[in-house]
Structure 1
Amino acid sequence: MNPKELALKAITDVFVRKDITAFDKYFSKDYKQHNPFIPNGTEALKQFLPTLPKNFKYEPGVITDHGNMVMIHGRYENWNGKNMIAVDIFKIEDGKLVEHWDVMQEEVLPSQSANGNAMFPII
C-alpha cells in the first residue's frame, strides 16, 4: 500500500469498522501523538474506541499526500455529542503510521454560517 492507501485503510478500519486490531496492523509501536489530549502509543486509543456511541460515524473526504505525509479531511458524527470536521495528518514510515496531528472544529451548517458554505465535503 502507498501512504495514502495506508492512512485511509487505517482510519477507516478504526473509525468506520471500529476494529481494534487495526492499531496493531497499521500503527507503529512507537506511535507519536500530537493531539494534546491523547498520550503517545495506541493503548489509550484502543481503550477509547469501544466507548464511542453506537450512532458515531466517520466519513473520510479529500485525501492528499506529500511524500510520507498524508492528510485526510473527514467528518466525525456524534463525537462527544457534536459533529466535528477534522483534518487528520499522518506521518508514515516503513508501512506504519508513526505520528499524528489533527485540527478539529465543530461543524456549522451552511444555513448557520456567515457565508452559506458547507464545511464538508469539499466538492
Structure 2
Amino acid sequence: MLTAIKEETHFDGSNEAISKKNIETVLTFYDAVFTQRTVESCNQLMRVDYINHSQFVDNGRENFKAYFKTFYQKFKQSGTDVELVFADKDLVCLHATHWASNRLFTVKIKCVDIYKLQDGQLAEHWDSVEGLTVVSRLVFFLKSFLKL
C-alpha cells in the first residue's frame, strides 16, 4: 500500500482495512475476467452503472461484458500479469502487462489501471496504456475497423 505521498498523509486501521479489501476485489476481478475469461463474474464485481474513462470500452457493465465477450472470441488466448498493486481507501491502482494472441500475432501491452470502488464493487476505471509499437497500433486499428 502506498502510504506517504505527502508527509501529512496517514492511514488509520479502518482505512487500511478498506484498502486491503478493495485490492482483494480488484485482484479477484482481474483473475476472473482477464485470466479465467469469465465476464459473467462482472455481475458480482462491477456496478451496473460502471463508468469507464477508457477510450476502448463504453460505460456500463453490460457494455464491458459485451466488449470482452467479442474480444475473447477474436483472441482465443489472452491473459494478464499484475506487476504492482496499491490502494488508498476506495482507489486501487495496478501496473500490469496484458497480452492476447490469435492465429496471426500476439500483442503485449503494459498499462496502469486505476479503479474506484463503491460498496465493494468496481464503480469507475481510468487507464494509461504504454506507447504503442507498430504492431500494437495495427492491432488497435484492426480492432476499431472490426468493431471489437
| TM-score scaled by length of structure 2 | 0.66
**How far off is 1:38 after superposition?**
1.8
For the structure 1 residues 21 and 89, does the alpha-carbon distance in structure 2 shift closer, same or farther, using more than 3 Å as the test?
same
After superposing on structure 2, the runs of 4+ consecutive aligned residues of structure 1 that deviate more than 3 Å are none
Equivalent residue letter for 1:102:
D
Aligned position for 2:95: 73
Tell me by how many angstroms 1:106 deviates. Answer: 5.0
Q: What secondary structure, in the 3-state scheme, does the structure 1 residue paired with 2:41 have?
A: helix
Q: Is this contact kept in 2: 1:89–1:101, CA < 8 A?
A: yes
- Gaps of at least 5 residues in structure 1 are 109-123
Among 53, 59, 71, the alignment partner of 1:34 is 53
Please say which structure displays the higher CA radius of gyration.
Answer: 2
Cα drift, residue 78 of structure 1: 2.4
Tell me the percent identity.
24
| Residue matched to 1:22 | 41
- Contact 1:83–1:107 under 8 Å retained in 2: no
Q: Identify the residue that residue 114 of structure 2 maps to in structure 1.
A: 89
Mapped partners of 1:86, 1:21: distance in 2: 23
CA drift at 1:81: 4.3
Residue by residue over 1:62-93, the C-alpha shift from the partner in whole angstroms, topping out at 9 and shown as x without a partner, is: 11001110001111112784210011100011
* 1:107–1:12 Cα change, 3 Å: farther
Query: What is the number of residues matched between the two proteins?
Result: 108
Q: Is the CA contact (8 Å cut-off) linking 1:86 and 1:102 kept in structure 2?
A: yes
**CA-atom RMSD in angstroms:** 2.1
Letter of the 2:87 counterpart: D
Q: Structure 2, unaligned stretches of length 5 or more?
A: 1-19, 134-148
More strand by share: 1
- 8 Å CA contact 2:47, 2:122 repeated in 1: yes
Structure 2 CA distance for aligned equivalents of residues 78 and 21 of structure 1: 20
